[in-house]
Amino acid sequence: MRHDRFEKQLQFILEIDKLKSVYRRTYLLTADRSENTAEHSWHLDRFIPQLHNYHTQGKSWSEHGITADRVLERNASMAEGSVKLWECAQSLLNDAVAKGFLPRSK
């Protein structure tokens, strides 16, 4: 027998899966189709941890020995979904390095 909370989580997963069928006006870089909302949300998913780390003065980055080079490499695909979001992410990252929250490289 499933717990109520678990059942709600499963329903949520099923509901957000529907986002794959909602297409946006933004084209993929290949220009062969528009991105769907799930893909668009994934780019935000890449941005949120970076934003969080910036506002905690790099706490998680520091705990895990993360460098700016590694963050850039991991999040470069963000530009595919939103150039503006990627520019913001790069700006935050550069500022984090300048403020000493994150080393540029090892």
- pLDDT for residue 59: 93
Q: Which residue has the tokens 């949300």?
A: 41
| pTM of this prediction exceeds 0.85 | no
Q: Which residue has the tokens 């506002």?
A: 55
Nearest to 93 by CA among 72, 76, 74: 72
Q: State how far the Cα of 86 lies from the Cα of 82, in Å rounded to an integer.
A: 6
pLDDT at 90 over 90: yes
Q: HSE (CB half, 13 Å, CA atoms) of 89? A: 25
pLDDT band at 2 (very low <50, low <70, confident <90, very high): low
pLDDT tens digits, 22-75: 887 777 767 788 888 877 777 777 888 898 889 899 999 999 999 999 999 999
- pLDDT for residue 91: 94
